[in-house]
Amino acid sequence: MSDRIAIVGYDVCLPAGRERAEIDSFLASGKSAVVDVSRSELLAAGVPESEFTRDDYVARSARAEWTPRTARHLGDVSAHELAVTDPQHLLFLDCCAGALRDAGMSPDSVRGRDIGVVGGIGMGLYAGHSLDSHFTTRIQRDAALRDQLAFPEVLIGNSSDHCVGRVSHRLGLTGPSVNVQTACSTALAAVDHAVLLLRSGRTDTILAGAAALYFPDRRGYRWQRGGILSPTGVCRAFDAAADGTVGGSGGGVVVLRRYNDAVADGDVIHGVIEGIHSGSDGGQRASYAAPAFDGQVRVIRGAMADAGVGPDDFAYVEGHGTGTPVGDLVELGALHEVFGSRRTHLPVGSVKPTLGHLDTAAGVASLVNVLLGIKRGWIPPTANFTELGPDARDWTAQPSTGPTVFPSGTSLAGISGFGASGTSVHLVLSAERDPDDPGATAGDGVSAGTVVAAAATASAVPAAPPAHEDQRLSPAGDNTGIRPAREEIAGVLIRLLRERGDFAHLSDEQVMEVGILDFGIDSVDVVAITNVFEARWKVSLEVLDLFAADTVAAIVDLVEQELGE
């Protein structure tokens, strides 16, 4: 049995559009779908004016123009079901049905067949009071609707556990039906699991993908210094001026079959998965939310080994590229480790500045960007990119400032993504001809079956903890306006560091001579530390300055400098 897996159909709904030609044109244009959200839109969405007029509120987002009432493939859905069901479930269902149609499979032809479904959605029922969801914004606030509902239908309509099962039930599919939740690596983790099922012979056709919608659908966000969200509302992946990411909504699904079966049945093949590898960072991360250099290197090399390809074969890597300074630097460093033996630089890009960060569906956006780029024969440069920071300028992986062309012959490209769940996936994809058009190739000057795209996914680092998390150590009202002694500053900092790791073997004097990175501290921890200093002494410290400090003593120097200004 061949290990090659064919993508024989797909359907997506992205901030760039729903029609494939529309999405292709938008991606090729170099524009960004991240736009301003107007005051009237925010008010209409129920965002309080007291919220969006805050100094830390950024009214920017990327939104897919989709609602259950404008869906194309849902079939008969009652008004009651629409009201009680998280739209993320319905978007995923819509894309699954659309992908099957794209693969030439009508609803009647698939009912009762051993077709599998693997996928996931964003946070739903359990968002609670800290994050908005369909459940918290629509159901809990509608007293009349709540009175009509029984708990089971609320659970089924809003828990992510039931998203995939809903698809299998509605479409009558009897194959494996598996929900996957790995945060921002969900979509490609679903593809990875689907490939394993196909290679095992368990089934011959599987749907794989994810969906993510924000609630309310037209809103911005509050940013926190040192967090993953951009204070400027512009995602600048891999750029020296990168200051964070911007969220987006959307979803998509691919139809996968074993390559030999697809060829035998005359399927249109959009791309072929030659190799794939997934894994967890395990305990190698400095903290749960930190990016893991070793984990990224491991999954990329694993997928390359599975596909039987080498570093010099690649023409492009579609990076995870969220626009967070630390995460992007770790990613470029991992790519340099894997591809450092190349004779030429490796072009790198990211679709997130164009479409926003689609959370659980981020991998679908990356995969579609590469599929369309392969068909087009080239991929545009990353939106909003101007120049690399000094630390990465001599590395092999270099963001492109112009279009990356897929040359003739055997060439590979890449998509990378890594995240807080610790689950990473790397996929290797090759182009394929349309059997109804023997003269068609993957792109101008590109031989069919020779362009390969490697894709690695994982989730984004979660938002930083609220400012009050560590303020129990230092009530701001008791300390503001009082210049502390150096010993007091050092004592507070050492205490905060010790709370975030096991450093009992070091004395306080030894801690002062150690760099903050040696403590296994990530950006989430550092944000909490800076919040304490700001609350206690009104000192504003930049997260990157703390990471750049050689020692804890140097951080104390920074605090004293700020206090002296």
178 DSSP 8-state letter: E
pLDDT at residue number 66? 87
Residue spans of beta strands (DSSP E) within 382-470: 397-399, 404-405, 411-415, 423-430, 451-457
Cα separation, 48 vs 223, whole angstroms? 17
DSSP conformation letters of 75-130: -S--HHHHHHS-HHHHHHHHHHHHHHHHTT--HHHHTTS--EEEEEES--GGGTTT
Domains of the chain, CATH where assigned: 5-457 (3.40.47.10), 467-564 (1.10.1200)
- Cα dihedral 211, 215, 219, 220 sign: negative
pTM: 0.78
pLDDT at residue number 314? 83
Helix (H, G, I), strand (E, B) or coil at 357: strand
* Peptide bond just before 216 cis, omega within 30 deg: yes
pLDDT at residue number 500? 67
Is residue 263 a contact partner of residue 9, using CB atoms and an 8 Å limit?
no
pLDDT at residue number 152? 61
Token reading at 153: 């239908």
Q: Tens of pLDDT along 152-210?
A: 666 777 778 889 999 999 999 999 999 999 999 999 999 999 999 999 999 999 999 99
Is residue 144 a contact partner of residue 80, using CB atoms and an 8 Å limit?
no
Strand partners, 279: 424
pLDDT at residue number 472? 30
Cα separation, 23 vs 369, whole angstroms? 9
Residues of the chain with pLDDT under 70: 1-2, 124-154, 407-411, 419, 432-482, 500-503, 517, 519-524, 565
Residue spans of beta strands (DSSP E) within 192-235: 205-212, 221-222
Phi, psi of 94 (to 5 degrees): -60, -45
